[in-house]
Amino acid sequence: MTVNNALIRDYIDRQNNELSAFIYDLDYLEQHIRQLQQQLPAQVDCYYAIKANNDAAILQTLLPHVYGFEVASIGEIEKVRAISDSVPVAFGGPGKTLSELRRALELNVTFYHLESALQLDRLNNLAMELGKTVCCLLRVNPHFALPKATLQMAGQATQFGIDEQQLLQLLPRLAEYPALEIVGFHFHCLSNNLDAGTHAGLVRHYLAAASQWASQFSLKLSVVNVGGGIGVAYQAEPQFDFARYCQQLTQLCHEYPQLRIATECGRYITAQCGVYLTEVTDIKCNHGEYFAILRGGNHHFRLPSSWQHNHPFTIFARDSWPHSYPRPEINGKTVTLCGELCTPKDVLAKQVTVSQLRAGDVIVFNKAGAYGWHISHHDFLSHPHPQRMYIKAQQFITTEVSYAA
């Protein structure tokens, strides 16, 4: 576990009952992003994809250490602009409407990642009305084969990017968009890739394809954004070998000295700084199988059910049981950890073996800092929201989420 364990224990001991909370360790996050930046070659601009976790405290912690932020909505741009007027912002997403692009222009977006001919038309017209020229990358849905990953956004029929074959029709016509300065290409093709070698291989493909298009169509290519997608091992697999990836990136930087390479990781930056704590409220045996019910679930932490995986966890035992009636308990049994929602899909870990588990103990789900709270349907069933806590300088700093600058 990477979040400060002693403080988790302390927090659990201070709560009487019905505990559910996210704890984010900003000390760990800062140390982690520093280590990543130390390893990345200077030619690589590291953006943070804020969809993974857009809390103000997280963004503020990352601000001094990242090149910029990748966003996918006006709400996300506003969250970034609430903490900085000037940090570079790259605006992606397949559904950018006219009104969103208009607002993005007001909010001083740095790079527009355009995903269709209509997006080029909309932005070109708006920028011309304002007498502006804006920097854009074209997001490509390539035709070359991609390695397998948990989620695949391109390299196949999806709604993302411009199909490579249509791109080849578009590139000779870029003069029709005088307000758009096309500075490069954007690729974000997969999520949760755990293999450093194949990830670097993908970047090699992207750079080669982008350079080939630039020379074929006489483009001034200055940036290739290679997306996010670096994985976090939630099970027993080896972690992504970041050092090896950076060695291969360094080699690529030597081969393409004239290019800036941008990355926009989300999960790999924030997954490990957060944990989700939830109390066991009941344990029962139905049809011969044990189930532990948790004070929380999918509506707080949707990642395990959306990925259909058993999320890694640690049990924090609580010895006191201040009730006169018996305490449900299992020892050396296999149990399914379920949330409190009225759906059999509310499962966070299925048929896992525990040495001991009792009602009142606390399950701490690790690696919950990215795509945890932020992708969950918080108000389904109107249960209370979990507490949101941050650790900074080895103490809890707040229980509130605030977007104040």
Contact call for residue 266 and ligand PLP (CB under 6 A): yes
Contact 362, 278 (CB under 8 A): yes
Instruction: Give the other-Cβ count within 10 Å of 67's Cβ.
Output: 18
Closest Cα partner for 109 from 141, 131, 76?
Answer: 76
Write down the least CB distance from residue 329 to ligand PLP, Å: 39
Which residues, numbered 129-168, are part of the site for ligand PLP (CB under 6 A)? none
Among 81, 267, 302, 367, binds ligand PLP (CB under 6 A): 267
Which residues, numbered 165-224, are part of the site for ligand PLP (CB under 6 A)? 188, 191
The residues, ordered by sequence, that sit 6+ positions from 29 with a Cβ below 8 Å of its Cβ are 58, 61, 62, 269, 270, 273, 369
Write down the least CB distance from residue 219 to ligand PLP, Å: 21
Among 88, 142, 155, 229, binds ligand PLP (CB under 6 A): 229
Residue located via tokens 């080939």: 212
Contact 223, 183 (CB under 8 A): yes
Closest Cα partner for 367 from 233, 237, 236, 240?
Answer: 233
Q: Which x/- pattern, by CB under 6 A, does the window 73-112 give for ligand PLP?
A: -------------------x--------------------
Contact call for residue 70 and ligand PLP (CB under 6 A): yes
**Binding span for ligand PLP by CB under 6 A among 7-15, 58-66, 73-81, 263-271:** 263-271
Write down the least CB distance from residue 371 to ligand PLP, Å: 7
Q: Which residue's CB is nearer to ligand PLP, number 51 or number 318?
A: 51
User: Virtual CA dihedral for 277, 282, 287, 289, nearest 10 degrees?
Assistant: 40
Contact call for residue 304 and ligand PLP (CB under 6 A): no
Positive or negative, the CA dihedral 234, 12, 390, 7 is negative
Number of chain residues interacting with ligand PLP (CB under 6 A)? 16
How far apart CA 48 and CA 60 sit, in angstroms, is: 12
Token pair belonging to 182: 């096309």
**Binding span for ligand PLP by CB under 6 A among 30-38, 228-236, 293-301, 382-390:** 228-236
How many residues belong to the chain? 405
Contact call for residue 227 and ligand PLP (CB under 6 A): yes
Closest Cα partner for 139 from 62, 72, 194?
Answer: 72
Contact call for residue 296 and ligand PLP (CB under 6 A): no
Closest Cα partner for 272 from 370, 396, 349?
Answer: 370
Among 264, 279, 346, 361, binds ligand PLP (CB under 6 A): 264
Which residues, numbered 337-396, are part of the site for ligand PLP (CB under 6 A)? none
Which residues, numbered 17-56, are part of the site for ligand PLP (CB under 6 A)? 49, 51-52
Active site residue 46: no
Contact call for residue 228 and ligand PLP (CB under 6 A): yes
Contact 375, 302 (CB under 8 A): yes
- How far apart are the two ends of the chain, measured CA to CA in Å? 30
Write down the least CB distance from residue 59 to ligand PLP, Å: 15
Q: Which residue's CB is nearer to ligand PLP, number 94 or number 201?
A: 94
Write down the least CB distance from residue 378 to ligand PLP, Å: 20
Amino acid in the structure at residue 277:
L
Alpha helices in 107-241 (DSSP H): 117-130, 164-170, 196-216
User: Residue 285: what are its φ and ψ, rounded to 5°?
Assistant: -120, 115
**Distance of alpha carbon 296 from its chain centroid, rounded?**
21
Write down the least CB distance from residue 191 to ligand PLP, Å: 4
Q: Which residue's CB is nearer to ligand PLP, number 295 or number 302?
A: 302
**Binding span for ligand PLP by CB under 6 A among 259-267, 313-321, 355-363, 392-400:** 259-267
Instruction: Give the other-Cβ count within 10 Å of 270's Cβ.
Output: 31
Catalytically annotated residue among 189, 273, 285, 342: 342
Contact 161, 174 (CB under 8 A): no
Q: Which residue's CB is nearer to ligand PLP, number 155 or number 266?
A: 266
Is residue 263 classed as helix, strand or coil in its secondary structure?
strand
Contact call for residue 262 and ligand PLP (CB under 6 A): no
Contact call for residue 302 and ligand PLP (CB under 6 A): no
Residue numbers annotated as active site: 342
Q: Which residues bind ligand PLP (CB under 6 A)?
A: 49, 51-52, 70, 92, 188, 191, 227-230, 264-268
